[in-house]
Structure formats: structure tokens, C-alpha cells
């Protein structure tokens, strides 16, 4: 790849101008990149970008080169007469350039020391795999396995980052071996590695067949352990990312959660009630449970504590509404209201009622709603009324027979 060292230095000047705060300089650099590089010498461009992504002395330049390589490689090459003949920049250059680019990216995977630049390299590797297929890069999987076992936590994290974006890399591997590797990573001493492994496992579960999912079922407990550890270490940003990953897993393979449902309900409702957390984190914890209720209602109905623990949290969220003196006089609807806890709580009650039905929901709800309606706090009374409205659609068959009692409340 040393053949690209001279052209890389010329290209770096263009890249510097692309990052200029001067609009005129930036516009001129964009035109130069498109005409003098993308159109005129695409193979030199891709090779030089890969060279810079691996070998440049500045982390910012390495990261930017990886970004440009990812963006340019799969954009359309020069216009063809027929759409059927249209090629990407990547497909228009010789196979020797593909191999040279991959070699530099593999080198960067091993050598990069700056975390942000390493992430950009991983994203570029993932883009190539997703477009070309893992079969055309057979040496990559072994390199990722080596990274996953490396003493450097950045390398371990990068392996799972690629597996997250490209779960198909693992689909031909023995499911038990993959499960064992994930289980080990969930206990890693580095939080970033644990989170990356959790996200990779979720991606693999989403891509797996029933046989593979059966082999992965024992992983759900350790996956929950990763989330719990984020709480223990006070990493709320990581906790939110972990909850979002678990939400994806619940949507894809809800039955895998059967064995941990009791623990999950207790854990997530605890987060939902934790006032020290940001509202979006509290909501993500409850959303995980609501996702399970919607995709596996039978499983959640059979869990004795599901409604008794989730409904009170939702009603408490609904009671968090604050008085806004200007609300009733405003003609403008504020979309930010949709992020408020009271709105989320109301929507969640509606969704739970539809998913689980009145037989499960009403006993808990109407154990609390009369007390709310009798409260001296207007927010409690408003939440009680809103709750009756919210659960009406899902519980109408039972509520219809109790209409007189409900009106009496």
C-alpha cells in the first residue's frame, strides 16, 4: 500500500479543506474531491484514504479518512448509459485495490490507539462486509476473534462493534461456541466491552434461527447482569444503551426472557421509580416490559407480579403532570410534551390494556384509581381520570358491566 503514500499526502490537503470553517474553501474542496479524485482516479482515492485511515499521524485525519472511505466507496460511480450498468465506486475499481484497502483496514484494526478513530475504522469494515458479504473477506473473522481475546479492551470492544453491525459473520459458527464467547465478554472488566458484547449478542439473536436461539437462551440472565452492572457503576448513558439493546432482543425473541421475567419486572420497575435517573432512562426501563407485553402477552399474563408492579409505576408517571398556566390559552401544540413522563405513562396504560386485557389489568388499576380520584392533589385526580380513559379500549368488555360504578367514582 506504500504506492499510495505520495497521493495520500495530496489527498490530505483536500481533506483539511473539507473540514474548513470557511464555506468557500469547503465548497471548492468538495468540487475538487468529486472531479479530480472520485471521477478521475477512484482507485487512487480509495487506496489513499485507506492508507491515511491506517498510517496518518493524526487521529482526526485517520478518523476522517475512514469516514470518507465508507461514504465514497458505495456511492454511484460515473453515470452509466443504462441503469443496469451502474456501478459503485468500489465495484468500479480493480480487485487488487479491494485487497489493498482491506489490508490497510486490517492493519488499522490492529494498530489504532485512539478510540474514536478505531470506531470509524470498525464502521468502515462493517460497511464493506454488509455490501460485499463475509465470504469475500475470509481472513476478517479470525482477526476479529483475535481482537476479542486481546489484552487491550479497545480491541475487544472493536470486535463486538463489528459483530453488532455484521451478525452474519457469526451465523455459520457453532452456536454453543458463540454463546460461550458472549458469556465471557459479559463478565469483562471493561464496561465498554460488556456493552458492545451485549449489543452484538442482541444483533446475533435477531439474525439467528430457532435452533441458534435455543442455544443462546441461557445468555439472557448474563445479559440482564450487564444491565444491572451499569446501574451499580452509575453509568446512566451506558444503562440507557443497554436497556435499548434489551428492548430490541425482547422484540425479536421474547420467549427467551421467560426464565428471567420475575427478575426483569422487579429490576425495570425499580428503575422506573428511581427519581435519580433521567426520565428517558426510567421510560426505557418500562418500555422494555411493555414491549414484552405486546409481543408475548400470554407469557406476561401468566406472571403474577407483572401488572401489580408495572401499573403503579405507570400511574405514578401519569401523576407527574405539572400545571402550565399558558397551556389552555396556547394555539401551538408542543411536540416536546410527547416526551413527558405523564404522556408516556398514559400511553403505556393504553398499550398494556390492549395487550393484556382487563382481567389482568383492572384489579391493580382500580385498587389505586379510586384513591387517586379522591386525592386533594389535582394531578392525582387528573391522572386517575386519564387512566380510566386510557384503559377503556383494552378493558371495555369488563368495564362495560361496571359502568355505573365507574361513573360513581
Q: Interhelix angle for 153-165 vs 191-207, to 10°?
A: 20
Q: Give pLDDT, residue 323.
A: 61
Please state, for a pLDDT cut of 70, what percent of the chain lies above it.
Answer: 90
What is the average pLDDT across 381-391? Answer: 87
SS3 82: coil
What is the average pLDDT across 56-69? Answer: 96
What is the average pLDDT across 67-88? Answer: 79
Q: Give pLDDT, residue 262.
A: 96
CA atoms in the 13 A half-sphere facing the CB of 94:
7
33 pLDDT above the threshold of 80: yes
Comparing 10-19, 77-86, 325-334, 347-356, the range with the smallest average pLDDT is: 325-334
Q: Which residues pair with 298 in a beta bridge?
A: none
Sign of CA dihedral 245, 246, 248, 249: positive
Write out pLDDT tens, residues 258-314.
Answer: 999 999 999 999 999 999 999 999 999 999 999 999 999 999 999 999 999 999 999
8 pLDDT above the threshold of 60: yes
**DSSP string for 207-258:** H--HHHHHHHGGGHHHHHHHHHHHHHTT-HHHHHHHHHHHHHHHHH-GGGGG
Q: Give pLDDT, residue 209.
A: 87
User: Residue 233 — very low, low, confident or very high, per pLDDT cuts 50/70/90?
Assistant: very high
User: Residue 28 — very low, low, confident or very high, per pLDDT cuts 50/70/90?
Assistant: very high
230 pLDDT above the threshold of 90: yes
387 pLDDT above the threshold of 70: yes
334 pLDDT above the threshold of 80: no
Residue 1 or 123, more confident: 123
> What b-and-e string marks burial along 3-15, b requiring 16 or more CB atoms within 10 Å of the CB?
ebeebbeebbebb
Q: Give pLDDT, residue 64.
A: 97
1 pLDDT above the threshold of 50: no
Q: Give pLDDT, residue 391.
A: 87
Average pLDDT, the chain: 90
Place of cell 380520584: 373
**DSSP string for 305-359:** THHHHHHHHHHHHHTT----TTGGG--S--GGGGGSHHHHHHHHHHHHHHHH-HH
Write out pLDDT tens, residues 155-214.
Answer: 999 999 999 999 999 988 888 889 999 999 999 999 999 999 999 999 999 998 888 888
User: Residue 333 — very low, low, confident or very high, per pLDDT cuts 50/70/90?
Assistant: very low
Please state, for a pLDDT cut of 90, what percent of the chain lies above it.
Answer: 73
Output the pTM of the full model.
0.89
Write out pLDDT tens, residues 245-255.
Answer: 999 999 999 99
Express the helix, strand and coil content of the chain in percent, nearest 5 each: 80, 0, 20
Amino acid at each position: 500500500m506504500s504506492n499510495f503514500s505520495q497521493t495520500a499526502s495530496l489527498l490530505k490537503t483536500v481533506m483539511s479543506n473539507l473540514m474548513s470553517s470557511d464555506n468557500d474553501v469547503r465548497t471548492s474542496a468538495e468540487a475538487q474531491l468529486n472531479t479530480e479524485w472520485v471521477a478521475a482516479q477512484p482507485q487512487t482515492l480509495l487506496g489513499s484514504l485507506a492508507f491515511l485511515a491506517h498510517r496518518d499521524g493524526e487521529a482526526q485525519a485517520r478518523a476522517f479518512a475512514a469516514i470518507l472511505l465508507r461514504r465514497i466507496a458505495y456511492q454511484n460511480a460515473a453515470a452509466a448509459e443504462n441503469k443496469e450498468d451502474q456501478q459503485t465506486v468500489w465495484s468500479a475499481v480493480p480487485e487488487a485495490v479491494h485487497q489493498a484497502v482491506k489490508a490497510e483496514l486490517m492493519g488499522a484494526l490492529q494498530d489504532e490507539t485512539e478510540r474514536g478513530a478505531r470506531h470509524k475504522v470498525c464502521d468502515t469494515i462493517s460497511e464493506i462486509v454488509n455490501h460485499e458479504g463475509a465470504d469475500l473477506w475470509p481472513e476478517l473473522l479470525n482477526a476479529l476473534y483475535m481482537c476479542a481475546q486481546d489484552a487491550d479492551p479497545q480491541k475487544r470492544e472493536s470486535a463486538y462493534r463489528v459483530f453488532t453491525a455484521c451478525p452474519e459473520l457469526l451465523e455459520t459458527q457453532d452456536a454453543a461456541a458463540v454463546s460461550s464467547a458472549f458469556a465471557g465478554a459479559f463478565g469483562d472488566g471493561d464496561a465498554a466491552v460488556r456493552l458492545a458484547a451485549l449489543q452484538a449478542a442482541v444483533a446475533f439473536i435477531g439474525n439467528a434461527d430457532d435452533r441458534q436461539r435455543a442455544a443462546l437462551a441461557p445468555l439472557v440472565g448474563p445479559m440482564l447482569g450487564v444491565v444491572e452492572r451499569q446501574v451499580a457503576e452509575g453509568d446512566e448513558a451506558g444503562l440507557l444503551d443497554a436497556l435499548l439493546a434489551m428492548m430490541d432482543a425482547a422484540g425479536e425473541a421474547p420467549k427467551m426472557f421467560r426464565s428471567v421475567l420475575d427478575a426483569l419486572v422487579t429490576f425495570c420497575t425499580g428503575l422506573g421509580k428511581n427519581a435519580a435517573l433521567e426520565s428517558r432512562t426510567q421510560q426505557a426501563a418500562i418500555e422494555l416490559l411493555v414491549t414484552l407485553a405486546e409481543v408475548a402477552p400470554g407469557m406476561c399474563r401468566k406472571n403474577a407480579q407483572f401488572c401489580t408492579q408495572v401499573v403503579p409505576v405507570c400511574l405514578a408517571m401519569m401523576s407527574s403532570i405539572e400545571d402550565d398556566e399558558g397551556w389552555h390559552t396556547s394555539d401551538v401544540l408542543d411536540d416536546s410534551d410527547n416526551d413527558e413522563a405523564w404522556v408516556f405513562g398514559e400511553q403505556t396504560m393504553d398499550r398494556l390494556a390492549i395487550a393484556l386485557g382487563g382481567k389482568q389489568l383492572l384489579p391493580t388499576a382500580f385498587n389505586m384509581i379510586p384513591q387517586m380520584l379522591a386525592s386533594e392533589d389535582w394531578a392525582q385526580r387528573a391522572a386517575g381520570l386519564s387512566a380510566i380513559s386510557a384503559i377503556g379500549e383494552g378493558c371495555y368488555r369488563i368495564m362495560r358491566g361496571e359502568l355505573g360504578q365507574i361513573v360513581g367514582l
